[in-house]
Structure 1
Amino acid sequence: MKLLIYGLNYAPELTGAGKYTAEMAEALAARGHAVRVVCAPPYYPAWRVAAGWSAWRYRREMRGGIVVRRAPLWVPAHPRGAARVAHLASFAFSSVLPMVAQWRWRPDVVMAIAPTLLCAPVALMLARASGASAWLHVQDFEVDAACGLGLLAPGPLACAAHAFEGAMLRRFDVVSSISERMVERLATLGVLATRTLCVPNWVDVRAIRPLRRPSLYRQALGIGEGEVVVLYAGNMGAKQGLDYLIDAAARLVARPDVRFVFCGDGLLRDALARQCAQLSNCTLIGLQSADRLRELLGLADIHVLPQRAGAADLVMPSKLTGMMASGRAIVAMAHAGTQLFEVLAGRGVVVEPEDAVALARAIDRLADDASLRARLGAAARRYAVHGLSLDSVMERIEQRLYACRGDGCEVGVRIDERAFVGETVGHRARPPT
C-alpha cells in the first residue's frame, strides 16, 4: 500500500496534530506500507520555526524510515484573524509543488490532515489525477472553532467558510475524525455515513504507564513529599482557558500542600509566566522532550484540562490520551452531552467550562481524597488500554486503507465505532471488538 500523508504539522513537533500524524505514519510504515509525507517545518506550539530549520526553503529528509518533504510557510507573530488565514494559505500554496511531484509515485491513498482544510483541494486534485482514494482526517473543525472562539464573526465570511468546508468534506472518499461527536458533526455537514470513520487519538500504553515511585521531576522542581501536584501539560494558547486554571490556583493559594505545575509553550506562555510569578503555589517549566513524557505525566496527582466553552464542545483534546494512560486523576472542563464529558464519566471529574470556582472546588476535593484519585486514575488507565492503544487504532486505519485499495472505501467497513473507542456502560470501558 502506498500512502501519501499531507498535513501542516509533523515531527519533531511534540504536541498537537504533528505528534499524531508522525506516529501514524511511522506505525503504518512499520506494518509494511510505503509512506511519504508532505508537511511544513516544525513551528508549533511556540509559533516560531524551530532552530536549525528554515521557514522559506524546501527540504527533503528521511525521518523514521519515511521520506518527508517540507514546504515553506509564513509564521506570524500574532496568529489571529487574517494573519492566521494567511499563515495557513502560505503552506497550502507552497506545498502544491511537492504534492504534484508525487503524481509519478502513484499513491494508492492520499490522506490530508485538517487543519488545514485549505490543503483539501490539492489533495483531491492529486488523488483524482493519480487514481488514488482521497481521505481527509479531521483533527479539528477549523470553522466551528473559529466561530466558537469569536475569531470569525457571523456574516458573509463565516457563511462562505462553512460552504467551503461542506463542499470539501463531501468530495472525499473517506472522512475520519477523532471522536463520535465529531463524526456526527460530519453527517450534519453532508458526509455520507458510509464514508465516515471514528479514529480516536491514541496513546502508547506501554510507554506511558503509571509510575510506581515518585516522579524524578519532584526532586528537580523541589516539590515536597506531601505536596499534591496539579499538572497542566500542553499548548498554552487562547482556547485552552488557562486563565481559569490560574484563577483556581489563586483561590487555593492558602493550601501549602497543593502545587500547580504548568508545562508547555505557546502564544500565552509569557503572560502565564507573569501570572505564575505572582503566585507562590505555581511553577512554570518549558516543553519537555518526548522521552521524558512518562516521568512528566507521572508527576501529576491531578491532571487538569481547562477549556473555553467554544472549544470544549468541538474537539477531543489530544493531550487527554496521555493523561488517561498515566493512571492519574483528571479534572476537565466540558458541557454535559459532549464526547469529553462521556469519556470521563466515572473516570474523572468534569466541571462546566469557564467556571474557575467549580474547578477550584474539584481540585480541592481531590487533593483531600487520595483513594478517589486512585480509583479515577485506575478507571482512566483501563479505558486507555482497551480503547486508545496504538495497535487497535492502527488496525482500524489499516482496515479502511485496504478497503480503499480493494473493493472501495465504503464497502464492508461500517462498524459500530462505540465498540472501538470504548462505550460508557456502567462507567466501564468496553474493550474493542
Structure 2
Amino acid sequence: MNITIISNHYYPEDSGIGLYSTGMAEFLAQKHTVKVIGATPYYPQWKIYQEYDKKGLFSTEVINGVEIFRFKQFTPQIPTFKGRIFQMIHFFMGSFFNVLKIKKNDIVIVVMPFTISVILGWFIKIFRGGKLWIHVQDFEFDAAFETGISNKKGILSRVIFRMERFIFNRADFTSTISNGMLNKLETKSNAKKYFFPNWIDHSKINPDLAKPSSLFNASKFNILYSGNIGAKQDWEFFIDFVSACQEMKHVQIHLIGEGAKRKEVVESLKQFQNCKYYPPVRYEELNDVLCNTDLHLLFQKHTVIDSVMPSKILGMMASAKPSIVTGNEYSEVKYNLEISEGGFYFYQNNKLQEIMGILKNLMENPELSNIVGNKARKFVIEKYSIESVLSQFQKDIENGSVSNF
C-alpha cells in the first residue's frame, strides 16, 4: 500500500505526538511505502531545532525507510491561542506544496493536531485517491478552552467548532486514543470510529535494563515529574506539594521537561531546596530516569477531562514505579489506574493531605511501592504493548475495516 501520514510532530521530536507518529510510520514502512508530510521539529522547546533552522523553507529526508517532506512553519516562542492558530495556518499553506509531491495514495492518515491539516489529507484523497483517516491525539480547540487559553463563549468558539465538525465529516474513518475521547468524537463526526490507543515499547522502558541515573541521589526518596510543562498541568498544586514536602528531609523532587509554563514554574520553585529542574533528557536516557525514581507525579487541572490522554502515563506505569495523579473525576487515566491498581488517583479539592499520607506510606513501606509498580507495568504490557496495538492497526487498514470498534 501507499500510505501518506500528515503530522505536525515527527522525529527527531521524541516525546508526545512526535514519538507516536514516528513509531506508526516506521512500523507501517516495514511492509508498505510510507511518506510523511511534516513540520520542522520544534517541540517541546517551542523553538525550531538548531540542525533544521539552517535549512530552507522546504526539506526532504529519508529516515528508517520513511520519506519525510518538511515545511519550516512559524513557531511562536510563547504558544498563545492566536499564535498557535497562526502556526496552524502557516503550516497548512506551506505543506500544500508538499501535498503535490504525493503521486500515489491508498490511505492518508492525518494526525491531529493540527485540525486544519485534515484539508490537506482531503486534497490527497480527491486528487490521488484512497481513504482519509483522521487520528486525534489532541482535541486542540477543546483543550484550549478547558485550560483557559481562550474563552469558550462567543462567536469565535462557535465558528471554530462548526469548522471542526465540517472538517471531521470529510473523513472515511476517525480514531482517537482513549474511550473518553472516543465519546467526544461521537459528537463531532459522522464518520466510522476506531479506538487506536497510544502504546508503550516495554522493551525500551524496562526496569531490568535501567542503569543508575546521575540525576538522582540514591540516599533520598526521589519523586519525578517528567514531561511537558504546559497549561494542562496544575502547577499551583505542584508548588503546594513541593512546599508541603519541605519538612521531609529525605525527599527530593525532580522536574524534567520543557513547555510554555517552564520559566514561570521554575522561577516559582527557586525558593525550595528540595526541588531541582532539568531540561528534557534524550529518549535513550528516558528508561534510566523513569525506572530509577521512587514515585511519579502528574498533577492535572480538574477541568481537563479527556481532551487529551497523557501519553506519559504509559511510560510511568511501564517503569514499575507507583504514580500519584490528580485530575478530573471522569478521566480515562483514573479508570486505568483504578483497574490496574497501579497508582493513586485523586480528584477532590482537599487532596493534598491525602496525597501526603500516601507519600509517607510509600516511604515507610517499600514493599507496597513494589507491588503497586509491578501491577502498573503488568497492566500496560497486557493492554498497550506496541506489538499488539500497531499490528492490529496495520491489519485493519489493510482490510479497510474498523474491527475493534
Normalized against structure 1, the TM-score is what? 0.88
Q: Deviation of residue 56 (structure 1)? A: 5.4
Answer with 348-357 or 285-294: which moved more: 348-357
In structure 2, the residue matched to 1:49 is 48
Q: Deviation of residue 67 (structure 1)? A: 0.7
Q: CA separation in 2, counterparts of 1:58 and 1:354?
A: 49
Aligned-partner SS, 2:12? coil
Q: Deviation of residue 265 (structure 1)? A: 1.4
Letter in 2 for 1:304: L
In structure 1, the residue matched to 2:203 is 206
1:351 aligns with 2:340: no
Q: Deviation of residue 276 (structure 1)? A: 3.0
1:123 aligns with 2:121: yes
**Correspondence 1:331-350 to 2 at 5 A:** 331-345=324-338, 346-350=341-345
Tell me if the contact between 1:307 and 1:353 (Cα under 8 Å) persists in the aligned partners.
no
In structure 2, the residue matched to 1:282 is 275
In structure 1, the residue matched to 2:235 is 242
1:152 is aligned, of 150, 153, 161, to 150
Tell me if the contact between 1:107 and 1:130 (Cα under 8 Å) persists in the aligned partners.
yes
**Correspondence 1:77-88 to 2 at 5 A:** 77-88=77-88
Distance 1:79 1:353, change over 3 A: farther
Q: Deviation of residue 347 (structure 1)? A: 1.8
Q: CA separation in 1, counterparts of 2:275 and 2:208?
A: 23
In structure 2, the residue matched to 1:93 is 93
In structure 2, the residue matched to 1:415 is 404
Q: CA separation in 2, counterparts of 1:370 and 1:91?
A: 49
Cα deviation, 1:345-400, whole Å, max 9, x if unaligned, reads 02210011776625444434433332222121111101111111111111121122
Tell me if the contact between 1:58 and 1:70 (Cα under 8 Å) persists in the aligned partners.
yes
2:247 is aligned, of 254, 258, 271, to 254
Letter in 1 for 2:364: D
Tell me if the contact between 2:396 and 2:403 (Cα under 8 Å) persists in the aligned partners.
no
1:391 is aligned, of 382, 387, 393, to 387
Distance 1:393 1:132, change over 3 A: same
Distance 1:353 1:161, change over 3 A: farther
RMSD of aligned Cα (Å): 1.8
Q: CA separation in 2, counterparts of 1:222 and 1:43?
A: 28
Distance 1:253 1:90, change over 3 A: same
Q: Deviation of residue 415 (structure 1)? A: 2.7
In structure 1, the residue matched to 2:179 is 180
Q: Deviation of residue 323 (structure 1)? A: 0.8
In structure 1, the residue matched to 2:364 is 368
In structure 1, runs of 5+ residues without a counterpart are 417-433
Tell me if the contact between 1:72 and 1:95 (Cα under 8 Å) persists in the aligned partners.
no
Distance 1:138 1:212, change over 3 A: closer
Letter in 2 for 1:17: I
Tell me if the contact between 2:195 and 2:404 (Cα under 8 Å) persists in the aligned partners.
no
Aligned-partner SS, 1:305? strand
Q: Deviation of residue 190 (structure 1)? A: 3.4
2:212 is aligned, of 207, 213, 216, to 216
Q: Deviation of residue 222 (structure 1)? A: 5.7
2:316 is aligned, of 323, 328, 333, to 323
Letter in 1 for 2:308: V
Q: Deviation of residue 221 (structure 1)? A: 3.2
In structure 2, runs of 5+ residues without a counterpart are none
Distance 1:21 1:353, change over 3 A: farther
Letter in 1 for 2:22: A
In structure 1, the residue matched to 2:193 is 196
Answer with 55-64 or 202-211: which moved more: 55-64
Tell me if the contact between 1:200 and 1:388 (Cα under 8 Å) persists in the aligned partners.
yes
Q: Deviation of residue 100 (structure 1)? A: 2.0
Tell me if the contact between 1:241 and 1:354 (Cα under 8 Å) persists in the aligned partners.
no
Aligned-partner SS, 1:216? coil
Cα deviation, 1:275-300, whole Å, max 9, x if unaligned, reads 33321111111111111111010122
Aligned-partner SS, 2:303? helix
Cα deviation, 1:244-291, whole Å, max 9, x if unaligned, reads 222201111100111111111122222233233321111111111111
Cα deviation, 1:177-231, whole Å, max 9, x if unaligned, reads 0011111111122334xx1111111110111112487x521xx236142x21111
Cα deviation, 1:295-329, whole Å, max 9, x if unaligned, reads 01012211111111233432210111111111110
Answer with 204-213 or 279-288: which moved more: 204-213
Tell me if the contact between 1:145 and 1:311 (Cα under 8 Å) persists in the aligned partners.
yes
In structure 2, the residue matched to 1:28 is 28
Answer with 243-252 or 379-388: which moved more: 243-252
Tell me if the contact between 2:56 and 2:72 (Cα under 8 Å) persists in the aligned partners.
yes
Tell me if the contact between 1:333 and 1:354 (Cα under 8 Å) persists in the aligned partners.
no
Q: CA separation in 2, counterparts of 1:258 and 1:222?
A: 11
Letter in 2 for 1:350: Y
2:260 is aligned, of 262, 267, 281, to 267
Q: CA separation in 2, counterparts of 1:228 and 1:157?
A: 48
Aligned-partner SS, 1:240? coil
Letter in 1 for 2:234: G
Q: CA separation in 1, counterparts of 2:366 and 2:57?
A: 52
Aligned-partner SS, 2:76? coil
Cα deviation, 1:132-175, whole Å, max 9, x if unaligned, reads 10000000111211111122211111111111111111221110
Aligned-partner SS, 1:238? coil
Q: CA separation in 1, counterparts of 2:137 and 2:82?
A: 21
Q: CA separation in 2, counterparts of 1:363 and 1:99?
A: 52
Distance 1:59 1:246, change over 3 A: same
